[in-house]
Amino acid sequence: MDKNLNAISTIGEFGLIDKLTKDITINHKSTSKGIGDDAAVINKGKLETVLSTDMLIEGVHFDMVFTPLKHLGYKAVAVNVSDICAMNATPTQLLVSIGMSSKYSLEAIEEIYDGIKHAAKIYKLDIIGGDITTNPAGLAISITAIGEAEKKDIVYRSGAKENDLIVVSGDLGGAYMGLNILKREKEVWNSNPTIQPDLSGNDYILERQLKPEARIDVIKLLNELKIKPTSMIDISDGLASELIHLCKQSKKGCQLFEDKIPIDPTTHKTALEFNINPTTCALNGGEDYELLFTVDLKDYDKIKTNPNLSVIGHINNAESGTNLITNGGNSTPLTAQGWDHFS
């Protein structure tokens, strides 16, 4: 960092909070009290409150060599909002906590917070509080997302039924291949800092990794189509891992068809360049933050032609197990090889 940039120590914790939050506006009547007291007050009335929290740690979830600070702030919000969407709820508020070491300047933290505020604007969220503290180990961002839904509309992982269709939004594997591109160019740069990274032609998969989007649009679409999923989860650790979670919680089995898994052409092409099976990227890559859900068979006609949704399999009884039907027509047990923090 440039030593000439303003040190955060010159304005202190509360000065920093004031600077970061001075232009935040409240969008929801339910926010009775936002930033400025010991706690936020949220009046939900007849609606259910849905909360989720996630933490991003430097060196674990992101690499500062290739992660733009504003994108990082945006992503920190999106991954939390995705969890709210996976409950079939509407996100409404955020609590933001940041821990940083002395290597980060005021300008750097402001840039991260700009990304957070931009995401809050896009997703129509109120930032209602949080915490800022020192962290000698580097940078950590913790966000709690709050959402709301009527009790009858909330969807859990445990509701899948036999013969339900397995559906996924968007496409899969792109975030993983974007990360592979970034790691490759980092290695090139480490060996020779005079060489500029070659990221051309990879905009889509790089954005999938650096600036993912929560699929609020899919929740709105399902509502418009009058479809309530029987179970739902967001894809943060890979399709295989999440589908196994759904089946375990629902006490069911499944058949997943390899040829039905949606993979973007750029993801497919890049995977082959790295000698990786594109299906492996989709099954185990993670960080796509698409929605994986099950619907009753009677809803098939409502979704079969929708370009945002793909039917990729169906739910069976538990005794049948969780299986992948390969392009060659073979059945193989589905295994979760996605991200594990403590592996």
Cβ neighbours for 100, distance < 8 A, ≥ 6 positions apart: 109, 134, 135, 138, 139, 140
User: What pLDDT score was predicted for residue 14?
Assistant: 65
User: What pLDDT score was predicted for residue 134?
Assistant: 87
Location of each CATH 3.30.1330.10 domain in the chain:
8-153
Please give the chain's pLDDT, 343 residues, in tens.
454 456 777 887 668 888 888 888 888 888 877 887 555 768 777 888 898 888 999 888 989 889 999 999 999 999 999 999 999 999 999 999 999 998 999 999 999 999 999 999 999 999 999 998 888 889 999 999 999 999 899 999 999 999 999 999 999 999 999 999 999 998 888 888 888 888 888 999 999 999 999 999 999 999 999 999 999 999 999 999 999 999 999 999 999 999 999 999 999 999 999 999 999 999 999 999 999 999 999 999 999 999 999 999 999 999 999 999 999 999 999 987 755 443 4
**In 198-231, which positions are buried (b, 16+ CB within 10 angstroms) versus exposed (e)?**
eeeebebbbebbbbbbbbbebbebbeeeebbbbb
Location of each CATH 3.90.650.10 domain in the chain:
165-333
Cα R_g (the chain), whole angstroms:
21
DSSP state of 283: H
C-alpha–C-alpha distance, residues 317 and 329, integer Å = 20
DSSP state of 195: S
C-alpha–C-alpha distance, residues 293 and 168, integer Å = 6
Architecture of domain 8-153: 2-Layer Sandwich (3.30)
Give the residue from 254, 258, 281 showing the smallest Cα distance to 270. Answer: 281
Contact 169, 303 (CB under 8 A): no
pTM given for the model: 0.88
State the Cα torsion 257-258-259-264 to the nearest 10°: 130
Architecture of domain 165-333: Alpha-Beta Complex (3.90)
Give the residue from 273, 271, 293 showing the smallest Cα distance to 284. Answer: 271
Contact 290, 221 (CB under 8 A): no
User: What pLDDT score was predicted for residue 41?
Assistant: 64
